[in-house]
Structure 1
Amino acid sequence: MRQVILQPAGNAGARQHYADTIAAPVLLDDYSDLLGEDLASLLAIYPSGAAPLWGATVGEKNVNVGRYERMSVGDYVLFAADGKIFRGGTVTYKLRNAQLAAKLWDFDAKGRTWELMFAVDELRNFDLPYAEFNKMVGYKSTNIVQGFAVLDEPKSAALFDQLSLDSDTYPAVPSSGDLQKRLTALGDETERQVAAAQRLEQGLLRHWLLPDASGVCALCGRDFPAQLLIAAHIKKRAACTNQERMNMPAIAMLACKLGCDSLFEAGHISVDANGSVIVSSLAHEPGAAGEYLKSFAGKSSPAWNADRATYFEWHRKHTFKGSSIPKAS
């Protein structure tokens, strides 16, 4: 389950931190000596070389450490100041780094730095007064955001639903044990749970198909960063049985956002019984679309295997449009 993290940013110090490392993303190469192995991971997520970074201190008696350890990629942080939630973003990476935090933000009055660090992306503005926020999560109307906090599952779920906080690019990554429990729980949906189950399935599919910061499109065969890949059902989800939907990762594949996902969804490309990409009769038409489709003909799909064969067969029979053309010479 994705969680919501609350982060007050109203005092002078927090406002300055926000301006320095969220509003103005951190140039990662400037801190390569302090980032160590985290540098490569962050650059894979942020190819521009600049990442919005935030951090929390360990707090009194290390109270924030446990909260930080509960955080996961795909969680959502909400920044609060001046009586409202004003900004939010998806957590993309965690790194506990006291040296880097001290370099970025120095130390507080008690000699602590904001070492419980994380990176965020997909930042968006909010104008959500505390009174409305409190109503969403069931707090008293007079409650204010104080201190770094991780909300429980019911409160987080309410905010994800009402504020549309879900991210396809950075899904939550559950532990292996929790993953199996969640898969089993998807077997018996009620109507009220359908939307939540679909979001969870998408996150689980991406967890299976895209464990790293990049992956290979199953149709064009090119390597892309995670932000440009979709966990796409081979057999349409609506046509799947519960058992088929839980057949992860075989029920799905990675498809890039640079056209392959749309072409497969529309039936202009598919994969044959031998694992080769086939293209629809649109490829015979003159113009850019036909020429582009021809470039796919005969490519070997890196996603094809025996477990996926029946799902690709379903796609050919129910979605694919028209006959294929011979492989281009």
Structure 2
Amino acid sequence: MRILAQPARRSDKTVEKHYQDTIASPVVFDQHADLLDAATLDALKQLFPDGTAPMWGVMPGKNGANLPEIRKMGPGSWVFFSGDKRLYLGGTVALTWRSPQLAARLWDTDGDGETWEYMYALSGTRGFDIPIEEVRDLLDWKPTRNIMRFQAFKDTEADLLQSLLTLEPAQTVQPEDEEAAAQQAIADYTGPLERSAERAHRGEQAHLKRALLPGPTGECALCGRTLPAAFLIAAHIKKRAACTDDEKRDLQNIAMLACLLGCDGLYERGFITVTEGGHLQVSPLAASSPAVAQHINDHLADRTTAWWTPEREQYFAWHRAHTFRSAPAP
């Protein structure tokens, strides 16, 4: 997945007007049919049967400075809008085209007579509120760096941003092919393990989640609840810090999906573990915290997980021996 950054500071009155005119209020195609070529108009109507879509555009920049990045944008790319030190909107690029005339009608021109002529229509827009500090930390940027121009991210940086924005991979396979797609994601991963400890961990997390979760929802390995992708993480069965490089690359077996509604924290802190065969075992120390005990009784007691396999047993065994809070010796 290619991810694009669209700077658009809404505290600027001009940007805010453009945002209200063509994002908050989607553009009606038929009102501008005179400036849309027949192929573009037909494609828009096929993609958006209701006849409207949010639209935005990018200037070519001085001496065409933005063109190399603009050429990287295409249908299926994911774009996020940023400004005032926050990421606030994202969506999928449904269609791209060039129209100085339509751009000038929608957004006028700047002081130099330029307009936002490299246009795109968005589908599946969603809002969020993410401080730029999180992006700096994620991508190992300098503390003062901001998103100042339209730019494309790919490879590891795109994977890291996908994880931060909880983006789901595009659905390009039928349900019966999902396992094959997951296996291919595992086989294809040859990325770096140790650019830095934190970036490596997050890079693996994105690849792990893509391998374990080929769709927009998934099942927690521990409580069995089916949840949206945003509430699931790829949790290491054996602590990552204790894994060898070969174990870190064993993406098929080293991790499981765990929910952020309690299960990941309980497993990480040793209040639950998985026995050989897949039965969930509860620490006797859980009873000392009524809230923890209640969550376990409601969602985890007497469960058996289908995520246990003989290949994963070595990792679950490590967790039982090194993380699980067993009863103290008499």
Query: Which category of TM-score, normalised to the shorter sequence, fits these structures?
Result: 0.5 to 0.7
Identity of aligned residues (%): 31
Structure 2 residue 303 is matched with structure 1 residue 299: yes
SS in 2 for 1:235: coil
Which is greater in Rg? 2
- Provide the TM-score with structure 1 as the length reference: 0.62
User: What residue number does 1:258 align with?
Assistant: 261
User: What residue number does 1:184 align with?
Assistant: 190
- What displacement does 1:294 show? 3.5
Unaligned segments of structure 1, at least 5 residues: 27-33, 40-52, 80-84, 99-106, 138-143, 324-329
Contact 1:231-1:255 at 8 Å conserved across structures? yes
> Which residue of the other structure, out of 166, 172, 182, is the alignment partner of 1:170?
166
C-alpha RMSD of matched pairs (Å) = 4.8
> Which residue of the other structure, out of 257, 262, 267, is the alignment partner of 2:270?
267
User: What residue number does 2:138 align with?
Assistant: none
1:306/1:55 CA distance change after superposition, 3 Å:
farther
- What displacement does 1:234 show? 0.7
Which amino acid is the alignment partner of residue 170 of structure 1? T
Residue-by-residue CA offset, 1:177-208 (whole Å, 9 max, x unaligned): 99679732335x3xx53332222111111111
User: Greater CA deviation, 205-214 or 281-290?
Assistant: 281-290
CA distance in 1, matches of 2:25, 2:237: 38
Structure 2 residue 209 is matched with structure 1 residue 206: yes
Which amino acid is the alignment partner of residue 311 of structure 1? Y
Instruction: Give matches, 1:1-329, under 5 Å.
Output: 5-8=5-8, 14-19=15-20, 55-57=55-57, 66-69=71-74, 72-73=77-78, 76-79=80-83, 85-89=84-88, 91=90, 93-96=91-94, 108-109=103-104, 114-117=119-122, 119-124=125-130, 136=145, 149-151=150-152, 167-168=163-164, 170=166, 183-186=189-192, 189=194, 193-284=196-287, 287-295=290-298, 296-322=300-326
- Provide the TM-score with structure 2 as the length reference: 0.61
Contact 1:283-1:294 at 8 Å conserved across structures? no
CA distance in 2, matches of 1:208, 1:134: 32
CA distance in 1, matches of 2:285, 2:165: 31
CA distance in 1, matches of 2:248, 2:228: 25
Which amino acid is the alignment partner of residue 284 of structure 2? S
- What displacement does 1:236 show? 0.2
1:288/1:196 CA distance change after superposition, 3 Å:
closer
CA distance in 2, matches of 1:136, 1:234: 36
* Corresponding pairs, count: 266
CA distance in 2, matches of 1:35, 1:276: 53
Unaligned segments of structure 2, at least 5 residues: 27-43, 97-101, 107-116, 134-140, 173-180
Residue-by-residue CA offset, 1:77-131 (whole Å, 9 max, x unaligned): 433xxxxx5542474x414169xxxxxxxx533688954325344324669xxxx
Contact 2:162-2:206 at 8 Å conserved across structures? no
